[in-house]
Amino acid sequence: MIFPRAAAATLTVISIGAAAQVQAQDYPARPIRIILPFSPGGGTDLLARLLAQRFHESLGQAVTVDNRAGAGGNIGADLTAKSPPDGYTLMLSTASLTVNVTLYPKLPFDARKDLVAIAQVASSPLVLTMHPSVPARSVKELVELSKKAKGGLNYASGGNGTTSHLAGVLLQQTSGIQLTHVPYKGAGAQMTAQISGEAELGFSVVISALPHLRTGKLRALAVTTKRKSSALPELPTVDSTYPGFDIDNWYGFFAPAATPATVVSRIHAEVVKSLQHPDVKAFMQREGAEPVGSSPAEFTAFFSREIDKFAKIVKSSGAKPDS
């Protein structure tokens, strides 16, 4: 027997579920916003705008990119987590989201509980580069050289807690060497330091490194993902020398938790379709990124593993966010 109050509660739950089902079937019925937790002008911003245009053409609704930079991407992520879970607020983020879970001890949101992972859009390796004056032609030679240097070789990064910083930490952990970390304010300053020889080596995004590799201002030894890069197919992976090494500066789509599964599936399908578009393919090739398009379940599992992986690296490094 169902009592009146329990029956009313049951009907409310059914009504909410039915409303969500109808809403999902009609999706999208109005404009969609893609929150980008970074400043305009970078590679992630360009990708977000390319995908927004593809979504607009396919879904028949306006799709805008809303740049909400600050706190290493946490401002945009918090806004996404606290938005209505109706599919009209999405977020395109990077591996920094998983780093920040540990790097920032008091986040106003729970990345695992307050966000739903929709699709990993692309895998984006870093490339281990060095000044031509460094006499190393392989990762193994670089490690042996660093062992002989007092304090180890200097490596530049784009700042404390960035993937370029943590890649150096992981190289020390997997190879047993010591390196001296020199943080700079952003990838541009890092690259300038490497080209000038102020820093002997560093881990850079492919698009930043490529022009200087072609002119001989830098030399590349390996890429940081477990699979090779199509932009630099001649380079081995660091993992081939030190198994377990894997730093991926990936891109991925998220939505607020409790977003209807049918809506999540719809957005995932749009991501997969967009990855086939010539403009998106050209972006991937230019950036040295590899398209992925993983399912929500696959991306959720990957996202959780990345949080755990970076937690260990951040804690062992003692990294603190730049002020």
The pLDDT score that the predictor gives to residue 76 is 97
Strand partners, 91: 35, 254
115 occurs within a structural domain: yes
Tell me the pTM. 0.87
Closest listed residue to residue 152, CA positions, set 177, 130, 170, 133: 177
CB 114 within 8 A of CB 89: no
Whether 118 and 132 map to the same domain: the answer is: no
Specify the residue for token string 């991926």: 248
The parent domain of residue 198 ranges over: 126-240
Whether 92 and 236 map to the same domain: the answer is: no
Whether 275 and 304 map to the same domain: the answer is: yes
Domain CATH for 138: 3.40.190.10
DSSP per residue, 82-150: TS-SSSSEEEEEETHHHHHHHHSSS-SS-TTTSEEEEEEEEE-BEEEEE-TTS--SSHHHHHHHHHHST
- Out of 240, 268, 291, a domain closes at 240
Whole-angstrom Cα distance, residue 105 to residue 88? Answer: 29
Whole-angstrom Cα distance, residue 136 to residue 142? Answer: 5
The pLDDT score that the predictor gives to residue 224 is 97
Q: Can you read off the two tokens belonging to residue 83?
A: 């938005």
The pLDDT score that the predictor gives to residue 194 is 95
Whether 271 and 209 map to the same domain: the answer is: no
14 occurs within a structural domain: no
Whether 102 and 154 map to the same domain: the answer is: no
Number of domains in the chain: 2
The pLDDT score that the predictor gives to residue 119 is 98
Q: What share of the chain is helix, strand, coil (3-state, %, to 5)?
A: 45, 20, 35
Specify the residue for token string 């200097």: 154
Whole-angstrom Cα distance, residue 230 to residue 284? Answer: 10
Specify the residue for token string 């930043």: 208
307 occurs within a structural domain: yes
The helix-helix angle for 278-287 and 43-59 (nearest 10°) equals 170
pLDDT along the chain (323 residues), means of 10: 47 46 76 96 91 96 96 96 98 96 95 98 95 95 92 91 94 94 91 94 91 95 94 95 95 97 97 96 90 97 97 92 75
The pLDDT score that the predictor gives to residue 20 is 47
The pLDDT score that the predictor gives to residue 43 is 86
Whether 116 and 44 map to the same domain: the answer is: yes
CB 111 within 8 A of CB 77: yes
Q: Can you read off the two tokens belonging to residue 145?
A: 């050289």
Whole-angstrom Cα distance, residue 272 to residue 127? Answer: 26
Strand order in the sheet with 219-223: 180-183, 154-157, 201-205, 126-130, 219-223
Whether 115 and 254 map to the same domain: the answer is: yes
The pLDDT score that the predictor gives to residue 41 is 84
Whether 258 and 118 map to the same domain: the answer is: yes
10 occurs within a structural domain: no
Burial of 236 (0-12, 13-18, 19+ CB in 10 A): middle
Amino acid (1-letter code) at residue 311: A
The pLDDT score that the predictor gives to residue 232 is 92
Whether 234 and 152 map to the same domain: the answer is: yes
Whether 235 and 152 map to the same domain: the answer is: yes
292 occurs within a structural domain: yes
Alpha helices in 129-252 (DSSP H): 139-148, 163-175, 187-196, 206-214
Question: Do the strands 219-223 and 126-130 form a parallel or antiparallel pair, or are they unpaired?
Answer: antiparallel
- Out of 240, 262, 288, a domain closes at 240
The pLDDT score that the predictor gives to residue 38 is 93
Whole-angstrom Cα distance, residue 186 to residue 151? Answer: 24
What is the number of other CB atoms lying within 10 angstroms of the CB of residue 242? Answer: 18
- Out of 198, 216, 240, a domain closes at 240
The pLDDT score that the predictor gives to residue 150 is 84
312 occurs within a structural domain: yes
8 occurs within a structural domain: no
The pLDDT score that the predictor gives to residue 151 is 82
2 occurs within a structural domain: no
CB 310 within 8 A of CB 157: no
Whether 226 and 260 map to the same domain: the answer is: no
Domain CATH for 290: 3.40.190.150
Enter the DSSP assignment of 72.
G
Question: Do the strands 63-67 and 89-94 form a parallel or antiparallel pair, or are they unpaired?
Answer: unpaired
Whether 227 and 297 map to the same domain: the answer is: no
